[in-house]
Amino acid sequence: MDSTTSSPPLPAQSKKRWLRVAMLSDAAVTGANGIAYIAAATLLTTLLGPPAPFLVGIGVFLTCYAFVILLVGTARSLPPAGVWFAIVMNTAWSIASVLYVITIDWLTSVGTVWAVFQAFVVLGFAVAQVIGLRRTSIGEPAPRSEQAGSSHNENTEGRDVASNTPFGKTTIR
């Protein structure tokens, strides 16, 4: 018996579901954090260390970010630019959180643990989104057989070849 057998490939819907779940999970957790930072800033200042206005500002930012990610995650067709925005922002947030722990001295012990923990969670969202993006075909050109319906103009006589792309009409000489 061969132990290196692989499982059958996932259907397209299942592949896209992974990415959608990653986006919506990011939006839910981030939105909950943002609302908590706004609603409980005074309590969290005592527990975590940062001043209340700082927590409120971060809370507003996180709530707005979560709303954008919710819009991207619930779009009929997930826009690759929106997914890449989430990946970049989550990666930047994780790096900034670690730098924050290293450079800021107002964090309590609980605040330090929380900042490192949420940096890993947010990095996990970025990794899940990258995996989801790689599993799907969004952002990649359609296979040649699927391009037949587009205004792709094959030419073997040395003339220009025109094609519609996501970035507009492109002419290849």
pLDDT recorded at residue 136: 82
Q: How many alpha carbons fall within 13 Å on the CB side of residue 31? A: 13
Determine the residue type at 25.
S
Is position 103 within any domain? yes
What's the whole-number mean pLDDT along residues 97-126?
96
For 118, the domain range is: 12-138
Please tell me the total count of domains within the chain.
Answer: 1
pLDDT of 163 above 90: no
Is position 154 within any domain? no
Measured distance CA(136)–CA(62) in Å, rounded: 27
Tens of pLDDT, residue by residue over 55-111, are 999 999 999 999 999 999 999 999 999 999 999 999 999 999 999 999 999 999 999
Residue identified by tokens 């839910």 is: 28
Q: Which residue has the higher pLDDT, 49 or 141?
A: 49
Tens of pLDDT, residue by residue over 2-29, are 555 555 555 556 667 889 999 999 999 9
Is position 155 within any domain? no
Measured distance CA(123)–CA(115) in Å, rounded: 12
Paired residues of 162 in beta bridges: 171
Determine the residue type at 63.
T
Is position 4 within any domain? no
| This prediction's pTM | 0.71
The C-alpha angle with vertex 62 and arms to 102 and 114, in degrees rounded to 5, equals 40
Measured distance CA(10)–CA(142) in Å, rounded: 18
Is position 160 within any domain? no
Paired residues of 163 in beta bridges: 170
pLDDT of 149 above 70: no
pLDDT recorded at residue 63: 98
